[in-house]
């Protein structure tokens, strides 16, 4: 099975590969939520901030350290939904999903 970076192998209805999931599903889901909020003109009691950045796992000057150091007032929020969490499956059936908040 090829597990080189950016590869993908479909086996039994699942996709396997290095970085196959990572944050791609979170970014796509969050972006769709933002688009739906706008398209449906959902009345909101507060701002909803969507921040997608790279480099949260390493030392980089273009990721979250830059945003926190240079633009904190733009991303300062009461709470945050982050990338952590997982779906627990038994016998291939989803039992529940965990969501990380900060």
Q: How many domains does the chain have?
A: 1
Longest dimension (CA), the chain: 49
Does some domain include residue 54? Answer: yes
Does some domain include residue 52? Answer: yes
Does some domain include residue 57? Answer: yes
pLDDT tens by residue, the chain, 102 residues: 555 656 677 888 877 776 655 667 778 888 999 999 999 999 999 999 988 876 655 556 677 778 888 999 998 888 777 766 777 888 888 888 777 655
Does some domain include residue 67? Answer: yes
Does some domain include residue 102? Answer: no
Does some domain include residue 86? Answer: yes
Give the domain range for residue 20. 9-97
């Amino acid at each position: 099975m090829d597990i080189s970076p950016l590869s993908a192998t479909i086996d039994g209805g699942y996709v396997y590969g290095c970085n196959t999931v990572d944050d791609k599903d979170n970014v796509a889901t969050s972006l769709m939520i933002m688009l739906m909020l706008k398209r449906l003109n959902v009345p909101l009691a507060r701002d909803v901030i969507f921040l997608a950045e790279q480099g949260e796992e390493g030392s980089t000057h273009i990721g979250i350290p830059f945003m926190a150091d240079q633009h904190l007032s733009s991303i300062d929020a009461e709470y945050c939904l982050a990338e952590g969490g997982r779906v627990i499956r038994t016998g291939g059936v989803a039992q529940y999903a965990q969501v990380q908040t900060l």
